Amino acid sequence: MTVILGQLFTGVSIGAVLLLIALGLSLTFGQMNVINMAHGEFIMAGAYTTYVLQKSISGAGISLIVALPVAFLVSGALGALLEWLLIRRLYLRPLDTLLVTWGVSLMLQQLARDIFGAPNVQTRAPDVLTGHITVIGGDDPLTFANSRLFILGLAVTAVVALSLTLRLTPLGRRIRAVVQNRDLAEVSGISTGRVDRTAFFIGSGLAGVAGVALTLVGPIGPTMGTNVIIDAFLVIVVGGIGQLKGSVIVAFVLGALQSVLEYSTTVSVAKVLVLVAIVAFLQWRPQGLYTLRTRSLV
């Protein structure tokens, strides 16, 4: 019983990590249709931000808290810069964007290697986040890792904040207007260029936040972004482009699926099965779980 509950929690926590790394993409890829392969490197930038901050702020807890907004700004600025330099020239060519940002990602990885050294770097987690809470005691205790609970909380907060921003603020309205009909938004007096850049700033900034969270559970090194990027894209694709709720559901379903399969088979087999399941699912629902209803033929 505790094993099942434990795996259930594992599924939720894998889902939370997936959601957090994919959340920024739901904006840049989901809303703006930009396949940004450098998104993983923005996650990396967030993680390195944590590392740099820890060198100047001694308390592990405080530096982690400070790192969240700072990483958001750092990665967001990188994203806005990328948008301004390259991506705005490529809005009509989504697939070229993929290859160009792949080049960017190669360069950012090498840059990280040259600045911080090739080996991984370490950050200290506050002691409370390396522990766990015991839900059921006894001989076979059921425990939840605090770091995972923190990430879950962070993911939920980020989703709520993002959806509120999109739904309630003038900025959110402008973003949605541009996504739904760029030309109409333009003639209605919205500066689409500025909206694009802002949306890209927020999406990339969320990658930075994910990077801070990943320092609690994974390595901090030049290739950490490449390890997660495809998973993140899959969450968005399966969830349905342009739909936040689809991504949320899919992240947790994939997390649960991964954890069940990992437990009953092996990690490698689980990974293959999940990918095959995704491919099969997309054959069935090529537009993902939720689709934006449009009357467009294409």
Partner 1 sequence: MTTTTPLAPKAGRLPGGRRRFTAARPAAGFVAAALVLFAVAPLALSDFRLGLLAKYLCTAIVAVGICLAWGRGGLLTLGQGVFFGLGGYAMAMHLKIADAGPGHVPDFMQLYGTATELPWWWRPFANPVFAIAATVLLPMAVAAILGSFIFRRRVKGAYFAILSQALAAAFAIWLVGQQATTGGTNGLTDIQGFFGYDLNDPVNQRMVYFVIAAVLLLLIALARQLMHSRYGELLVAVRDSEERVRFLGYDPANVKLVAYVVAAGMAGLAGALFVPAVGIISPALVGIVPSIELVIGAAVGGRASLTGAVLGAIGVAWARTALSEEFPAAWTYFQGLLFIVALAFLPGGLASLAAIVKRRRRNQGLSGDTA
Partner 2 sequence: MAAGAGALAAMVALSACGAKTDAGGTSDKAAKADVSGDTVKVGLLNSLSGTMAISEVTVRDSLKLAIDEINASGGVLGKQIKPISEDGASDWPTFAEKASKLIREDRVAATFGCWTSASRKAVKPVFEKNKSLLFYPVQYEGLEQSPYIFYTGATTNQQIVPGLDYLKSQGRKRIYLVGSDYVFPRTANKEIRAYAKANGMTVLGEDYAPLGSTEFSTIANKVKASKADAVFNTLNGDSNVAFFKEYKSAGLTAKGMPVVSVSIAEEEVKSIGAQYLAGQLTAWNYYQTTPGAANTRFVKAYKAKYGQDKPTSDPMEAAYTSVYLWKAMVEKAKSFDPEKVKAASDGITFDAPEGKVTVDGATQHIYKTARIGRIGSDGLIKQVWDSGKPIKPDPYLKGYDWASGLS
| Nearer of residues 69 and 141 to partner 2, judged by Cβ | 141
Which long-range contacts link 167-172 to residues 24+ away (Cβ below 8 Å)? 171/195, 171/198
Helix/strand/coil (H/E/C) assignment for every residue in 139-192: CCCEEEEHHHHHHHHHHHHHHHHHHHHHHHCHHHHHHHHHHHCHHHHHHCCCCH
Q: Which two tokens stand for residue 43?
A: 């996650």
Figure out which of the listed residues 59, 96, 99, 122 binds partner 2, where binding follows CB under 8 A.
122
Binding of residue 33 to partner 1 (CB under 8 A): yes
User: Which position among 39, 148, 174, 197 is part of the footprint of partner 2 (CB under 8 A)?
Assistant: 148
CB of 37 to partner 2, least distance (A): 16
Contact status: 80 vs partner 2 (CB under 8 A):
no
259 contributes a contact to partner 2 by CB under 8 A: yes
Per-residue binding letters, 101-140, with partner 1 (x by CB under 8 A): -xxxxxx-xxx--x--------------------------
262 binds partner 2 (CB under 8 A): yes
Residue 121 in 3-state DSSP? strand
Nearer to partner 1, 89 or 245 (CB): 89
Out of partner 1, partner 2, none, what residue 180 binds, judged by CB under 5 to 8 A for its kind, is none
Rounded to a whole number of angstroms, the minimum distance from the CB of residue 262 to partner 2 is 4
Question: At residue 119, what are phi and psi to the nearest 5 degrees?
Answer: -65, 160
CB atoms within 10 A of CB 127: 10
The interface partner of residue 228, options being partner 2, partner 1, none and the CB cut-off 5 to 8 Å by kind, is partner 2
User: Binders of partner 2: how many residues, by CB under 8 A?
Assistant: 49
Of 216, 236, 267, nearest to 21 by C-alpha is 236
* Residue among 156 and 282 whose Cβ is closer to partner 1: 282
Which of partner 1, partner 2, none is residue 190 near (CB under 5 to 8 Å by kind)? none
CB atoms within 10 A of CB 282: 14
**Is 88 a binder of partner 2 (CB under 8 A)?**
no
User: Using CB distances below 5 to 8 A depending on partner kind, what does residue 86 bind out of partner 2, partner 1, none?
Assistant: partner 1
SS3 125: coil
244-264 and 267-284 helices, crossing angle to 10°? 140
How far apart, in whole angstroms, are the C-alpha atoms of residue 273 and residue 88?
37
User: With respect to partner 2, which residue has the nearer C-beta, 9 or 72?
Assistant: 9
Cα(37)–Cα(98) distance, rounded to whole angstroms? Answer: 6
Half-sphere exposure in the Cβ direction for 190 (13 Å, CA): 23
Residue 93 is a binding residue for partner 1 (CB under 8 A): yes
Output the furthest CA–CA distance in the chain (Å, rounded). 68
Query: How near is the Cβ of 123 to partner 2 at its closest, in Å?
Result: 7
Q: Distance (Å, rounded) from C-alpha 290 to C-alpha 286?
A: 10
Number of residues counted as binding partner 1 (CB under 8 A): 44
**What is the footprint of partner 1 within residues 11-30 (CB under 8 A)?**
29
Q: Which residues bind partner 1 (CB under 8 A)?
A: 29, 33, 35, 86, 89-90, 92-96, 98-100, 102-107, 109-111, 114, 230, 233-234, 237, 241, 266, 268-269, 271-272, 275-276, 278-279, 282-283, 286-287, 297-298
